[in-house]
Amino acid sequence: MYKLILKLVINQKKTLLSFPTTMVHKTIDKFSNNYTEILNNSIIKFTGFDSFHFITVKLTKLRELNPSFLNKPINFLDYGCGNGNLYNNFHQYFPKANYFGVDISREMIKEARRRFQANGTFYEINSSEWKKNSYDLIFSAGVFHHIHPKDQSNVINDLYNLMSDTGKMLIWEHNPLNPFTRKIVKESEIDKDAIMIPPNKMKNLFIQNRICFDRIIYTGFFPKSLQINCILSLSFV
């Protein structure tokens, strides 16, 4: 079973800090032209599903957890947006939301802008423009394991400072307790230098910053081959 971890925090009081940009590696630029293809090659091999499937799962979970945002013109921040894959179907789930994507990779942002032209709003992480907004929903998927451990707490705090008074932050990460997940990450070219984060360690990052931590949610994925085997087994019972 392939699992990811979802953490939810609800905004309370804030303490202002500067915004660090250091990540474990900054070579992601070289993947900008074929990022989705490389990603698919990695995950299809083990799960039978492509990246679109997992994006759909994430957006479905986001909507499920935030039904009150469905028809509101909220500000949504996709922190670590890459080439904009999440944006591709975003407005099917949050039709009135204002989407903002930010990434450390200049080439990824260029690719996102090329793909979606004027329809999406994408910024490099060093830009001051996206930091002028407050966000009702901040989402970061598969990003924190690329941020250097010494910077993770500051990034959490800085994102928190960008939340609206009733804002929420959701962090979606790989589950390092799952050996199948560890194998996928280990063999992924994109995640070569990734340092996966245990659930309790991520939880402690919020607690250390005195941020209200709501819950950890585990989302399980069965590879297609196992699903087929289960169906066949049931058929012969």
Q: End-to-end CA distance of the chain: give it in Å, rounded.
A: 23
Give the percent of the chain with pLDDT over 90.
Answer: 39
Spatial distance between the Cα atoms of 29 and 107, rounded to a whole number of angstroms: 5
pLDDT of residue 7: 44
pLDDT of 237 strictly over 50: no
CB 49, CB 80: distance < 8 Å: no
The fourth-level CATH superfamily of domain 2-235 is: Vaccinia Virus protein VP39 (3.40.50.150)
pLDDT band at 43 (very low <50, low <70, confident <90, very high): low
Spatial distance between the Cα atoms of 169 and 62, rounded to a whole number of angstroms: 11
Q: What pairing do the DSSP bridges indicate for beta strands 213-221 and 163-174?
A: unpaired
Distance of CA 155 to the CA centre of its chain: 14
Q: pLDDT for 180-221, tens place per residue?
A: 777 777 766 666 777 888 888 999 999 988 888 888 888 766
Please tell me the pTM assigned to this model: 0.78
Q: pLDDT for 72-120, tens place per residue?
A: 999 999 999 988 989 989 999 999 999 999 999 898 899 899 888 866 7
Domain range list for the chain: 2-235
Distance of CA 159 to the CA centre of its chain: 13
Spatial distance between the Cα atoms of 220 and 72, rounded to a whole number of angstroms: 29
76 is written with which tokens? 């949504």
Q: pLDDT for 137-180, tens place per residue?
A: 999 998 998 898 999 999 999 999 999 999 999 999 888 887 77
pLDDT of residue 29: 57
The secondary structure of residue 70, as a DSSP letter, is: T
